[in-house]
Amino acid sequence: MAATLLWPRFATETLGLHGTVLPSPSCSSDWPALGRVRPLATASIGKRLHHLVAAWQASVGWGKNFQVWLGGARWVYIADLTDGRYLTQRLNPPRAPKIMRWFGELITPRMVFLVGNEEHVKVRKIAHMALLTSATADTVTAAVGDLLLSGTPGSPSGSARSYQGKVLDAAIAAGDPLDLDAWAVDVTLGVMFRVLFSETPPREVVDGTRHAMSEWIDAMSLVTGMPTPAVMSFGARRRIRAAGDWLVDLFEAAVGRRRAAWANGSRPVPPPAGAPEPPEGLDMLDVMLRDRDGGGIYAGDERRLYADLAMYLLGGHDTTAHSLAFAIHALTSHPDVEARLLAEADAQLPPAPHTVTPRDLPNLPYLDAVWKETMRLFPIAALGTMRQLTGDTKLPSGAVLPAGTLITMPIITSHHNPEVFPRPAEFLPDRWLPAGLGDGSPPPPRAAWIPFQVGPRSCSGQLVAVTQFKAGLVSLLRAYRFKVAPPLPGGEGVWDASVMTLRPVNLRVIVQHRT
Ligand code: HEM
């Protein structure tokens, strides 16, 4: 133990305490655990951890697993795709409880992200009834149409302008720069309220939710942004708890409205849990309450239900918002790509304004290439999540890792591997077309594109995310032109990462009507 804490490399390499020795990124100090403190602290404070991990990867070789010593623990970064698949799909170790436990601070640790595999399967099955059906995709595209197109001249729904639409209209009328990412977050929160609760939230509810969510993310970043589990300050903990209480009140009120709607017949009561046919068209509240009323996993544990609702709301809104903002940013400097997207949309879709439907999407292959390239270049969950081995493990590559080893499978190092994706720093949607980049190279292997990770703990919201992104991007581009405005003083660049998500910062755009 003392050897591990004081000189972990000695403990691993000489005493052989930690299984196979993997290459370590170069380090200026003989005491690797200490030698990494400065670059890590700098990267964490500057929210550039993803860059540091990518630099480590480049120094040991792309596609090679490596290890880093931090705070007396060995962190293993898995870049070998076969090892990664084995770990995520077959072994499926749970998320590292100490590192990820800050998720549980919001409402309760008994939540989808943190529970063991047996419970996890049950929770996920319930959620997928609301997230993975064709009715869900319809809900998402209808919500996108309502939020972005309603109230515009010729709009198909003809209903009132959403407040997200009004914010956009006001920025256009005044010629003021719009904080694109913040606005996109409001849009995706609107979509997620429809997916989870079938409700359109008033502005103050979206503002409050956004605030509660960012309190949570920011406070988590303070600790898990550092790669060692540090101590969360009392103040940070209090802020998270207050945010959790706010969300619990919000969810309680939604449950009350749902029960009233069932009672007065304005919304059909879902068939009881265990009905032979899996129900279609139920939202998240329906499926969770149905499980609880049927004595399932949520029975008698209100906070667990609320914690999972918070997880879906968190996972479902800022991720997709950032991907939309990154895509629009990339298109502003790639007018050829934008023109091709618009030409495809005009050829395949009814004239704008048109509410995109899930049936439209397979006819838009170039949009699909833009989606894949955006997610490749800007992998929103850049570092993935941390897992911890529960037993001694032999990987397909032959490395043996003992129980307790912390594992990360960084998405960014797979997506930026120049041996798999030539010119990795460039935004090149064409690489995903059958002819690849046109230089005779085939399109990249799908196995290297892992924005949602794979396996039983991969992202539950993939259908919601891709539908939201595609419907949102094509609707926005057909209606508006975007031009990047100068950043506010002191802000530069568009890459930044809180611990969980890569996001564009200080991205301000001037928006104009396209026609
Ligand atoms: C561009 C959008 C998104 C990206 C890049 C993304 C990425 C990810 C990644 C990498 C994971 C972790 C997988 C792992 O630990 O191996 C994850 C988990 C998760 N995501 Fe997403 N996500 C996105 C959108 C969404 C949406 C729209 C929802 C909800 C509707 C969602 C809900 C979740 C949930 C609940 C989990 C935990 C899954 C589990 O433990 O079973 N995500 N996501």
Rounded to whole angstroms, what are the CA distances from 65 to 24, 57, 386, 398, 409? 9, 8, 15, 11, 9
Closest CA to 189 of 180, 200, 179: 200
User: 350: CA distance to ligand 1 center in Å?
Assistant: 32
Residues 492 and 311 sit within 8 Å (Cβ to Cβ):
no
Lowest-confidence segment of 230-244, 347-361, 454-468, 483-497 by average pLDDT: 483-497
CB-defined site of ligand 1, < 6 Å: 88, 112-113, 124, 131, 311-312, 315-316, 319-320, 323, 380-381, 384-385, 451-453, 457-461, 464-465
Residue among 100, 141, 192, 459 to mutate when testing ligand 1 (max atoms within 8 A of CB):
459
The confidence score (pLDDT) of residue 451 equals: 98
Least confident of 55-59, 159-163, 401-405: 159-163
Looking at residue 11, the DSSP 8-state letter turns out to be: I
pLDDT tens per residue, range 331-353: 999 999 999 999 999 999 999 99
Per-position DSSP letters for 246-286, written without gaps between them: HHHHHHHHHHHHHHHHHHHTSSPPPPPTT-SSPPSS--HHH
Long-range CB pairs of 294-297, under 8 A, 24+ apart, other chains included: 296/122, 296/126, 297/119, 297/122, 297/123, 297/126
Cis peptide leading into residue 94 (ω within 30°): no
Q: How many Å apart are CA 50 and CA 505, to the nearest integer?
A: 15
CA of 469 to the centre of ligand 1 (A): 14
Asked if the model's pLDDT at residue 226 lies above 50, the reply is no
329 closest CA partner among 227, 447, 179, 162: 179
Lowest pLDDT segment from 33-47, 111-125, 367-381: 33-47
Q: Are strands 480-484 and 508-513 parallel, antiparallel or unpaired?
A: antiparallel
Lowest-pLDDT choice from 195-204, 220-229, 260-269: 220-229
The complex scores an ipTM of 0.99
**Is pLDDT of 228 > 50?**
no
pLDDT average, residue stretch 453-473: 97
Domains, the chain, ranges and CATH? 18-513 (1.10.630.10)
Prediction pTM value? 0.94
Check if the beta carbon of residue 278 is closer than 8 Å to that of residue 134. Answer: no
CA-closest residue to ligand 1 atom 23: 319
What is the mean pLDDT of the segment spanning 149-171? 86
Residue 202, pLDDT above cutoff 70 = yes
Mean pLDDT, residues 99-109 taken together: 86
Digit-coded pLDDT (tens) for 238-287:
888 999 999 999 999 999 999 999 999 999 999 888 777 767 889 999 99
Q: Which helix (H) or strand (E) holds 344?
A: helix 335-348
Q: Could you give the maximum distance between any two Cα atoms of the chain, in Å?
A: 74
**Residue 384 contacts residue 87 (beta carbons within 8 Å):** no
